[in-house]
């Protein structure tokens, strides 16, 4: 599956503990770190992009981190390939 992921662009939904609380920068980074450790993914946080969204490299692929309202009073974190 790892080779397949590198061939196409796949967004990654990042789970975190309390989805009813908006994911601050700290919550977001902690959730991504926990996800990467669990899934054995190399990660590196980078500077924010021109839209002031956080960026991260996951297994040497660049992703933009989106924090959004997921509806029904919940929030989400998504890593979208750039």
Model confidence at 27, in pLDDT bands (50, 70, 90)?
Answer: very high
Domain ranges of the chain: 2-81
Beta bridge partners of 80: 64
Local structure of 27: helix, strand or coil: helix
Model's pTM, two decimal places? 0.84
Q: What pLDDT does 4 receive?
A: 56
pLDDT digits (tens, 9 = 90+) for 36-81: 999 999 999 999 998 889 999 999 999 999 999 988 889 999 999 9
For residues 59 and 35, the answer to whether their CB atoms sit within 8 Å is no
């Amino acid at each position: 599956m790892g080779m397949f992921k590198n061939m196409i662009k796949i967004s990654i939904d990042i789970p975190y503990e309390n989805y009813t609380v908006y994911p601050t920068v700290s919550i977001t980074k902690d959730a991504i770190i926990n996800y990467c450790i669990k899934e054995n993914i190399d990660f590196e946080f980078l500077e924010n992009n021109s839209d002031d969204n956080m960026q991260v490299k996951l297994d040497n692929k660049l992703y933009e981190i989106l924090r959004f309202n997921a509806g029904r009073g919940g929030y989400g974190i998504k890593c979208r390939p750039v």
